[in-house]
Structure 1
Amino acid sequence: MAFAGHLAQESPPPDESAFAQSIADRLKAKIVKENPTGIMRRDAHPKMHGVVRAEFIVEPDLPADLRIGIFKEPKTYPAWIRFSNQSNRISPDSKPDIRGMAIKLMGVPGEKLLDEERDEQTQDFILISTPVFVTKDVEEFDGLLKAMESGIVAQLWFYLTHLRMTRNVLKALKKFGNPLQVRYFSTTPYLWGDTAVKYSAIPRASATDPIPKPAGDDFLRRAMVRQLEAGDARFDFAVQRRTDAGTMPIEDPGKEWSEAASPYRKVASIVIPRQSFDSERQREFGENLSFTPWHSLPEHRPLGGVNRARKLVYAFISTFRHQKNDAPRREPTSWEIPE
């Protein structure tokens, strides 16, 4: 087992920033092509099932090794949570896909990592419904995007020559009956004292909804509406500490960290109270919200190449979209939806 001082060590490759810029340029070109009219949507997770009000409740009496950053003391943070499909195209919910859960805490004091948003009071957690990222690093992700631009033959060749990535994709694409009953993972690591962690949101559902027949295109949103009309939805928010540098890599989020070696430990509860959320005004609000793992306290700094690329790519695409949509780019401060 590695010494704790090495467990948060990053190892950026020398050409990573060039691949990150290439990804940003490719994604910008893609969303321009796919949104010739109307609003300029996200390059990923454009289909939103709903953005909902929530409470993020830090556990009392956490052991010393879990009292980091926002988890230093018991506190309840108001939050917005956006649930979505990852596919870059707005497709029927019956299509296998990766689902997303983006959490934005509000009222978080302290200077944040992004220079232009240093004084904002938000902390984001970006989670998806699979424990691993599809590619091993930024270069491979850029190669995947290039292959997707180049036609079916190039795509097939790329998948055949990157077999672990292909397995990750096939395992990740699933069908679900209700976004409020799915387990979500960060896939990428984050600083945690002298080590690193990955995050998971674990649903506290006594049963899971089946996929309806006929399903319809938007049954996941309807499932959320139905559940939140009847009562609350709850998740446990947990962290998995990195305990072994050899088997739990920082720079390769395509490799899963063993839960047997390091189990997830609960640090907070997420409560999504009974509510009505499906208004046009709230959908527009959710469309204009920006999420990035770099909306963060330094104590929870994103680690690894994919997260480093996200810093550039997310800011680049978000700024472009908001300018094209003539929408203000601002962080929320409460559950009130701005006019």
Structure 2
Amino acid sequence: MSNTPVRYDPSIETIAPDEAETIAGLNESFQEILETTSKDYGHAVRAVHAKAHGIARGTLTIAANLPPQLAQGIFATPGTHEAVIRISTNAGDILDDSVSLPRGLALKILDVDGDRLPGSEGNATQDFIMVNGPAFSAPDAKAFGKNLKLLTKTTDRFEGVKKAMSATFRVVESALEAVGGESATLKTLGGAAPVHPLGETYYTQTPFRYGDYVAKLALFPVSPGLTRLTGDLVDVTARPDALREVVRDEMIEHGGTWELRVQLNTDLDAMPIEDASVVWDDKASPFVTVATLEVPPQLSWEHGATERTDDALVYSVWDGVTAHQPLGGVNRARKSPYELSSQFRGQFNGCPVHQPKSLSELV
């Protein structure tokens, strides 16, 4: 590595004096979203990333002969693990795909060893939740909470207005990008380009412990069937589930291969832990491949069946091993609301969510 990576130490995190209050506010917002959508749908969905565009099973192969700085945590032992991915959009309500929002990809790795994070004892899974942008839309938990509180007021309401606003925001965002700029806020509100989910690179956005070090992770598409879709725009006109359709078509035909890459923190000032909105410079510390995800051709969405799988699955950055502890205020603030969301879904739907020990347990 060109620069010495920062060693993990608990002191790199700084807990805000009002963090407990901020987390309580996030819980309230999550609860409001969950109650609104479950009442309207007669079924409970996630408070964030509610709409899935595809669920696919595959195998993650951890590379052999990684250098010591990269052979950390679950990546210290070469081998294969079953894995399941969920592709989504970040809203807490089920929207027409013409409301164009950032894409999400959640990766669950099965049968992993190691001391467990609080609340995930008894599990043998490692989750990484990623979005198709290198940095989080808010710098800290307080700003995240304020943004979410505003969004709760429009949850599952005014879809026609949302469609119109999304179209307008896309025009403004495209103009910004044409002159070298962009707005994470506009993208979050519906100004994201309607890109094909399978061509995107997905980032954890927030930092994690990486064994003895600190890192962000990302999933890069590498197979030709995926890379040809990078930047490809999906026609979402009069197609409320267009993304689900295009993902299904591609997964049936090609499947896909991704590389899981790691970006080690080499400078706590330039790569802050507590400001999740800062993009870490990939020239100062490039992303390096530590594992490969192979997803064979399969049906990623079957109406009437995949919904049951989606109900049973739960993802959280706090489901994993201590060697990959989520770091920073945004990550700390995610723990309680995500637990609230999964418990609410399980109770409302009468289908307790659980972490699978193998893919064969998934319906």
Q: Give TM-score, length-normalised by structure 2.
A: 0.83
Q: Which amino acid aligns with 2:57?
A: R
Give the alignment partner of residue 63 of structure 1, picking from 62, 67, 72. Answer: 67
8 A contact 2:218–2:262 mirrored in 1: yes
8 A contact 1:107–1:121 mirrored in 2: yes
Equivalences for residues 48-59 of structure 1 within 5 A = 48-59=52-63
- Cα offsets for 1:186-217 (capped at 9, x unmatched): 01000123331001111113411442375611
Runs of 4+ in 1 over 6 A off after TM superposition: none
Other-structure match for 1:170 = 186
Other-structure match for 1:207 = 228
Equivalences for residues 21-40 of structure 1 within 5 A = 21-36=24-39, 37-40=41-44
> Whole-Å Cα distance in 2 between the matches of residues 146 and 231 of structure 1?
40
Give the alignment partner of residue 20 of structure 2, picking from 13, 17, 22. Answer: 17
Equivalences for residues 133-212 of structure 1 within 5 A = 133-148=136-151, 167-171=183-187, 173-204=191-222, 205-208=226-229, 209-212=232-235
Task: Pick closer, same or farther for the CA change 1:72–1:89 going to 2, 3 Å.
Answer: same
Deviation at 1:276, TM superposition (A): 1.8
Other-structure match for 1:162 = none
- Cα offsets for 1:148-184 (capped at 9, x unmatched): 4568xxxxxxxxxxxxxx9322256423443221111
Task: Pick closer, same or farther for the CA change 1:18–1:223 going to 2, 3 Å.
Answer: same
Task: Pick closer, same or farther for the CA change 1:321–1:62 going to 2, 3 Å.
Answer: same
Structure 1 residue matching 2:342: 3-state secondary structure = helix
Other-structure match for 1:76 = 80
8 A contact 2:213–2:265 mirrored in 1: yes
> Whole-Å Cα distance in 1 between the matches of residues 326 and 133 of structure 2?
18
Equivalences for residues 1-339 of structure 1 within 5 A = 4-5=6-7, 9-36=12-39, 37-115=41-119, 117-148=120-151, 167-171=183-187, 173-204=191-222, 205-208=226-229, 209-212=232-235, 214=237, 216-279=239-302, 280-338=304-362
> Whole-Å Cα distance in 2 between the matches of residues 307 and 58 of structure 1?
25
The count of corresponding residues between Structure 1 and Structure 2 is 324
Task: Pick closer, same or farther for the CA change 1:92–1:4 going to 2, 3 Å.
Answer: same
Task: Pick closer, same or farther for the CA change 1:3–1:259 going to 2, 3 Å.
Answer: closer
Q: Give TM-score, length-normalised by structure 1.
A: 0.89
> Whole-Å Cα distance in 2 between the matches of residues 120 and 53 of structure 1?
19
> Whole-Å Cα distance in 2 between the matches of residues 202 and 10 of structure 1?
28
> Whole-Å Cα distance in 2 between the matches of residues 276 and 149 of structure 1?
33
Structure 1 residue matching 2:127: 3-state secondary structure = strand
Q: Which amino acid aligns with 1:46?
A: A
> Whole-Å Cα distance in 2 between the matches of residues 195 and 185 of structure 1?
18
Output the aligned Cα RMSD. 2.2
> Whole-Å Cα distance in 2 between the matches of residues 242 and 5 of structure 1?
9
